[in-house]
């Protein structure tokens, strides 16, 4: 299998799968699509439109069909199914593959795994994991913080104060997700999930002080592993000649992996409390999602006064 994909060893570890073909190195097998397949039709001999790139799942129906066949017929079915270079074969509900299948799988270098979970439950979890691992990914220089449940991505030039703003938010009870570098994955058409790279997890760099461990200094309640990105605040140096939005009638957006994320440009001046502004922006963003927009309400009141001749 060519190209980048999800390593089967990682999938097996995350989902706690049993390996019936222990001599095969799962780290050498990759999965490249998030869909899975239950090969009921294939077991019956229908291989047109067979998606060989998908993980194949054996559930109650497939196992019952196999049990209805003679050992000789089952051997033929195994030979045919495993003649295709499928990523792996997974047995659900605690079913154990018979020796003849394992033998063919070892010859064809196709891993056979198992789980005690129900088929539908396991398939749902597997698809979620595959979508997460295989999601389009990018990295952004910034800070990601959970503020009142809203994922706030703070961006701006190096040294402008992103980490200091995040530290103040942490001191006010909010949670750090990532500092300096944010790994962002597009898990579906509308959702961006961010987290920290393993090397910088729970760490913040403060100029003049150095690197601090937020989890150790402030406790586990001040950090979070992963967070949906809801809006962006872009910090920039205040310039007198620039015109800054004072009403917020029209939202600005930042394109991340093809998704438009609401973005606010925030000019930095001495005396501005960034943490309070970030908190207010988070609450205001949540209020907009609930259907209330203060700027539009102001516009409505002005129009109403004009109509009344005031």
For the chain of 310 residues, list the mean pLDDT of each consecutive stretch of 10.
73 96 94 94 94 96 96 95 96 96 96 96 94 91 96 92 93 95 92 94 91 94 96 86 68 92 86 86 91 83 81
Lateral strand order in the sheet of 143-147: 175-178, 143-147, 150-156, 231-237, 259-268, 252-256
Is 13 in the active site? no
The pLDDT of residue 1: 36
Residues in CB range of 30: below 8 A, 6 or more apart: 1, 3, 4, 5, 6, 7, 8, 87
Is 74 in the active site? no
- Residues of each domain in the chain carrying CATH 3.40.1390.20: 6-134
Residues in CB range of 1: below 8 A, 6 or more apart: 29, 30, 32, 53, 85, 87
From the candidates 49, 190, 246, 269, give the one annotated as an active-site residue: 246
The pLDDT of residue 2: 39
The Cα–Cα gap between 149 and 285 comes to: 11
The pLDDT of residue 255: 95
CATH of the domain spanning 6-134, picked from 3.40.50.2300, 3.40.50.620, 3.30.1360.70, 3.40.1390.20:
3.40.1390.20
Collapsing DSSP states into helix, strand and coil, what is residue 112?
A: strand
Residue 56, CA atoms < 13 Å, CB-side half-sphere: 24
Is 162 in the active site? yes
Quote the pTM value.
0.75
- Residues of each domain in the chain carrying CATH 3.40.50.300: 137-299
From the candidates 54, 117, 175, 180, give the one annotated as an active-site residue: 180
From the candidates 54, 74, 117, 162, give the one annotated as an active-site residue: 162
Is 251 in the active site? no
Task: For residue 113, give the nearest of 16, 7, 4 by alpha carbon.
Answer: 16
CATH of the domain spanning 137-299, picked from 3.20.20.80, 1.10.3720.10, 3.40.50.300, 3.40.50.2300:
3.40.50.300
The pLDDT of residue 268: 81
The Cα–Cα gap between 241 and 33 comes to: 51
From the candidates 141, 272, 300, 301, give the one annotated as an active-site residue: 141
Structure tokens belonging to residue 147:
């503020």
Any bridge partners for residue 233, and if so which?
154, 264
The Cα–Cα gap between 153 and 138 comes to: 14
The pLDDT of residue 126: 96
The Cα–Cα gap between 278 and 266 comes to: 10
Structure tokens belonging to residue 112:
């056979």
């Amino acid at each position: 299998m060519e190209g980048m994909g999800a390593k089967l060893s990682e999938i097996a570890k995350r989902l706690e799968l049993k390996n019936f073909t222990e001599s095969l190195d799962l780290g050498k097998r990759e999965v490249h699509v998030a869909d899975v397949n239950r090969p009921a039709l294939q077991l019956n001999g229908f291989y047109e439109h067979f998606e060989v790139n998908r993980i194949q799942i054996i559930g109650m129906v497939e196992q019952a069909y196999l049990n209805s066949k003679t050992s000789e017929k089952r051997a033929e079915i195994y030979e045919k199914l495993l003649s295709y270079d499928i990523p792996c074969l997974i047995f659900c509900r605690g079913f154990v593959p018979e020796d003849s299948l394992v033998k063919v799988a070892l010859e064809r270098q196709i891993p056979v795994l198992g789980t005690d979970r129900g088929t539908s439950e396991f398939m749902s979890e597997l698809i979620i994991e595959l979508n997460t691992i295989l999601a389009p990914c990018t990295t952004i220089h910034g800070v990601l913080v959970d503020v009142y449940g809203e994922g706030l991505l703070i961006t701006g030039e190096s040294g402008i104060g992103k980490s200091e703003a995040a530290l103040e938010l942490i001191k006010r009870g909010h949670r750090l997700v990532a500092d300096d570098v944010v790994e962002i994955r597009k898990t579906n058409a509308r959702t961006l999930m961010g987290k920290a790279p393993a090397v910088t997890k729970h760490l913040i760099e403060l100029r003049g002080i150095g690197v601090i461990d937020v989890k150790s200094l402030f406790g586990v309640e001040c950090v979070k592993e992963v967070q949906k990105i809801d809006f962006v605040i872009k910090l920039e140096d205040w310039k007198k000649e620039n015109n800054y939005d004072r009403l917020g009638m029209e939202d600005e957006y930042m394109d991340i992996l093809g998704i438009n994320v609401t973005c606010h440009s925030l000019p930095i001046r001495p005396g501005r409390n960034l943490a309070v502004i970030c908190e207010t922006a988070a609450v205001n963003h949540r209020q907009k999602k609930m259907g209330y927009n203060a700027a539009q309400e102001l516009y409505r009141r002005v129009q109403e006064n004009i109509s009344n001749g005031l």
